[in-house]
Amino acid sequence: MADSSVDVVEGCRLPVLRKNQENEDEWPLAEILSVKEIPGRKLYYVHYIDFNKRLDEWVTPDRLDMKKLQFPKKEAKTPTKNGLPGSRPSSPESEVVRVLFLMSAHVSSLIQKRKAESVSLATQVSPATPVPSLPGLAEASQASVYPAVRDTNTFNLKSNARDDHEQLTSLTTNGTARRPMPNQPGRKRKQPPNCGGTDEDSQDSSDGIPSTPRMTGSLVSDRSHDDIVTRMKNIDCIELGRHRLKPWYFSPYPQELTTLPILYLCEFCLKYLKSLKCLQRHLTKCNLRHPPGNEIYRKGTISFFEIDGRKNKTYSQNLCLLAKCFLDHKTLYYDTDPFLFYVMTEYDAKGFHIVGYFSKEKESTEDYNVACILTLPPYQRRGYGKLLIEFSYELSKVEGKTGTPEKPLSDLGLLSYRSYWSQTILEILMDLKPDNGERPQITINDISEITSVKKEDVISTLQYLNLINYYKGQYILTLSEDIVEGHERAMQKRHLRIDSKCLHFTPKDWSKRGKW
């Protein structure tokens, strides 16, 4: 469908042929991000509008529908940043996101105020008024709510009702409680010139963009680097042990390695090499058969290793480079000192093979128990993601704290956390026994202390599942038949669980250490 007489340039938009999940042809609108010429033909790097960036790809001219070509609108020159030439003007959707980003704090405060007023007024007038649920999320939940299905499925939320009521009504529309971010003296981070950036078009999470992006850590939430270079995948293929991985996003590996058809990684130390011969020579010298650090958990073939970002800096940086290939909502920094990395491995006769990992700050003022979390693609959809999440909360239990993952979560991360929170909370509710014939009672604080899940996450999950109702002056949780049956089916499929008896972990008080 390409017309050779028309010159397609960067910024043009037009329908592009691709296969959908049913292997059927479709023509979604796409934006041309880059054009390159190879002997005999041109190739176009396209981003499908309203699709995740992991689907971006190089396409041939015959897949372009030139009849519906839209040329980019001419715009005034963008000012340069830090004396360097600015990147190409971003798409209209990105501009909308920026405006929403700036307005979010003000809008959320108004929504919060109106919600609090309406709930307070409704409580005085009609005790049977249900608790306000999350817009969008309540509709997305397929669970039905019954006033009373059977006694064993209806629970009273004990008061501390005042505290719980304040928390329920102070939720913003994204289900997380907003509070002012304290000014932190934070360590200065030095960013290499080719650091990876992110793009506002990415489908991060419906939890929204935080009003104050985090500017600390090895992989941080930072959307200020929307550049044409970082919007494109720069690595074609990675060979890691017996797996070949197709990266989803940009990662700032050295420029000379980005032209290679395959980038080779040592699966034990994660060192990157340019050829199979270099890898074979490296393996004769590399003594590692497991990640560096302490093995703190082993059950069957699954092990977890705790790695200090200061003591094992090179490994930690290599791990972040690999992770950036599959995480678009983070920007890579090379200061790994303030972080601990927990790497999950699977053991066989050749050694301990990396499955996934999560990182966490040694000291977190925001109660974050996870900074970044990733299951490598070959191991996805096999229960390892939930196992990583469960392990992070198991560490929080040993530390005697409640925790929450750092926001924003990726689209896949959000699905995993919502599923884990739902299953964990429902497991507790279904195990409650009636007390002297009365309906069982539990508080939000009780659930939080048992699970180490932060109260805001407990509340948002209960509302997401549409379980909370306000009835005759008190909050009640009502489990429908659909919810119970769905939970039982999900738990039958969940074979991988953390056994706390196999965990050998002693938390350290990092605040008392002069240096990490």
User: Which of the residues are catalytic?
Assistant: 406
DSSP 73: P
* Strand intervals (E) in 162-225: 219-220
According to DSSP, the residues that pair with 35 across neighbouring strands are 44
Strand 154-157 relative to strand 441-442: parallel, antiparallel, unpaired? parallel
List the one residue out of 324, 329, 319, 325 whose CA is nearest residue 357. 319
The length of the chain in residues reads: 516
Collapse the DSSP code of 503 into the 3-class scheme (helix H, G, I; strand E, B; otherwise coil) and give the result.
strand
**CA terminus-to-terminus distance, the chain:** 59
List the one residue out of 20, 72, 67, 73 whose CA is nearest residue 48. 20
Q: Which residue has the tokens 């990157």?
A: 272
List the one residue out of 504, 498, 473, 491 whose CA is nearest residue 161. 473
Residues 6+ apart with CB under 8 A from 403: 367, 368, 369, 370, 392, 393, 396, 452, 453, 454
Q: Could you tell me the maximum CA-CA distance found in the chain, to the nearest angstrom?
A: 83
Both tokens assigned to 198: 């992110």
Both tokens assigned to 160: 């501390």
Residues 6+ apart with CB under 8 A from 444: 157, 160, 163, 164, 167, 455, 458, 459
Count how many Cα atoms sit within 13 Å of the Cα of residue 272 in the half-sphere of its side chain.
22
Query: Using CA atoms in the order 420, 421, 422, 428, what is the torsion angle rounded to 10 degrees?
Result: 110
Sign of CA dihedral 44, 48, 53, 55: negative
